[in-house]
Amino acid sequence: MDSTERPRGPRLEWTVVPSDIGPLLLAATPEGLVRVEFHAGPDRADGMADALISRLGADAWRPAPGEEVLLAEPIRQLTAYFAGTLRRFELPLDWRLSSGFNRQVLLELDRSVPYGSVVGYGQLAARAGQPGAAQAVGNAMGSNPLPLVVACHRVVENDGGIGGFGGGVETKRILLALEGVLPQPLF
């Protein structure tokens, strides 16, 4: 539903915002930010939103730019993050799109890997109480419904390689450079 009319039932507010790494789809419920998706260009955003609406079974509302209610603070904080003035997101999060081990690992990542630092997949597995589960940690990062806010770009290969990223490896490089972990590109 891409309506300017507010829904009557359980609410999901969504929008697409520009960023330094391309358009991002943001979605929130009254419980908190529920989804961040990369590459939300005009050809993909409606499909992304429809899939999320279907999964959550929520009535959705896409406010006009600047009229966001549930997304006003996430938008403000993302803007500050990309401006280099925000180092930790302080937002209510709706975790219903993550469960079990994946949620456990994401919560540990959010708790123990601050801005400007990285952790190896195996190290994060050990911190989450599952030594030897590096591959499962990689799967958890790939299923992260809240990238950027729960900073899966900070998880790298144990041997120092950059590893994969749902937003693309170049996006991961940009984010790690923004946080000072990697040098800024020359051009």
> Could you report the per-residue pLDDT of 56-69, keeping only the tens digit for each?
988 899 999 999 99
DSSP designation for 148: T
User: Do 98 and 145 contact (CB within 8 A), yes or no?
Assistant: yes
Distances (CA, A) of 174 to 1, 22, 35, 106: 33, 11, 21, 21
Token representation of residue 157: 């290969």
Q: In sequence order, which residues have a C-beta less than 8 Å from that of residue 136 and are 6 or more positions away?
A: 101, 105, 125, 130
Distance CA 58, CA 53 (A): 6
Token representation of residue 102: 């994946």
Distance CA 48, CA 149 (A): 18
Q: What mean pLDDT do residues 114-139 have?
A: 94
Rg, the chain, Cα only: 17
**What is the pTM assigned to this prediction?**
0.90
Catalytic residues: 152
Closest CA to 89 of 131, 147, 150, 39: 150
- What is residue 7's predicted lDDT score, i.e. its pLDDT? 47
pLDDT tens track for 144-170:
999 999 999 999 998 888 998 999 999
Distance CA 150, CA 113 (A): 10
Structure confidence at residue 182 as a pLDDT band (50, 70, 90): confident
Query: What secondary structure does DSSP assign to 3-32, as a single string?
Result: -SSPPSSSEEEEEEE--TTS-EEEEEETTE
